[in-house]
Amino acid sequence: MPELPELQALAEGLDETLSGKEITTVRAHLPAALKSADPPPDALVGRRVAKVWRRGKLIGLDTGDLSVVIHLMSAGRLGITDSKAARAPRNAVFDIGFGEEGRLRLRELSSTHRASVHVLTPGALDAHRPLARLGPEPLGLEPQAWKEALSQPQARLHTALRDGRRVAGIGRCYADEIMWAARLAPFASSTRLSDEEWERLATGADLVLAQAIDRARGRISTDLPNKEARLTVAHDHYGDPCLRCGTSLERVSYVSYELVYCPHCQTDDRVYADRRRSRFLR
């Protein structure tokens, strides 16, 4: 799933390329992906892009008096394509055309269609629930703000990190990476961290996300690739030696993903039995 670093790089590249461009066509290849009816998408035609932005895992395109908000979910991809292509691919979902200068295309890599598009007025944008319910952006967040965001209500720390209503934009990959960088147990209770642990969390999040954004800028500009090609030290490295202490990384497997951690650095050499019956909860 695309997360904050990849989407931030994409938003910056699209903003630089599309700002000032006139929208000439709009087409919904998968009508069910368009989740708003008034104003109709054709109302965008003739307007110029004022800004492309990211908030959490959402990408927005502003034209001044109308905005397009795109939620990629896990399988959505977004990028500029050649306007001369005769036929849209089967995974095309929604196009915003810019004449001879190409089109911004939302595509979806899964047959389970969850990506969505909303065309919103300023008032509707302010009230848009996926935006209005987002927590603060994590980069640069102070330790006390992390504590306030994650500690109430109580949750496992890894779960709380991925809750966009608490802190925006972090998914499974960067939750693993932040937990490893901060040397924190993934299943630690969010209500039982010390001040020093909140400091480590804030520092680790800034380090991980800033480096990931810099790397994403080097490979993502105006198109989000099908594969993220991230450089990670914990996520997807189950069984590999920890780069800090050499201990083999362990995992907790779920139906569609796994959580990876270092038992020596993060859980005092304790290994989680499984996701439901682990006795090593703090």
Q: Using the 8-state DSSP alphabet, how is residue 34 labeled?
A: B
CA distance 43 to 75: 27
Residue 277 has pLDDT above 80, yes or no: no
Residue type present at position 190: S
218 contacts 13 by C-beta, under 8 angstroms = no
Torsion 86-87-89-95 (CA) sign: positive
pTM of the model: 0.93
Q: Which domains does the chain have, with CATH numbers?
A: 4-132 (3.20.190.10), 143-266 (1.10.8.50)
The sign one gets for the Cα dihedral 74, 75, 76, 78 is positive
Is a pLDDT exceeding 90 seen at residue 199? Answer: yes
| Confidence bin at 255 (pLDDT 50/70/90) | confident
Query: Does the structure show a pLDDT above 80 at 161?
Result: yes
What is the pLDDT averaged over residues 184-199?
A: 97
Say if CB 82 and CB 67 are below 8 A apart: no
Across the chain, what does the average pLDDT equal? 94
Identity of residue 196: E
Q: Is-contact 41 12, C-beta < 8 A?
A: no
pLDDT at 274: 62
Tracing tokens 């990876």 back to the chain, one arrives at 260
pLDDT score for 111: 83
Q: How far apart are CA 7 and CA 112, in angstroms?
A: 21
Tokens of 140: 């640069």
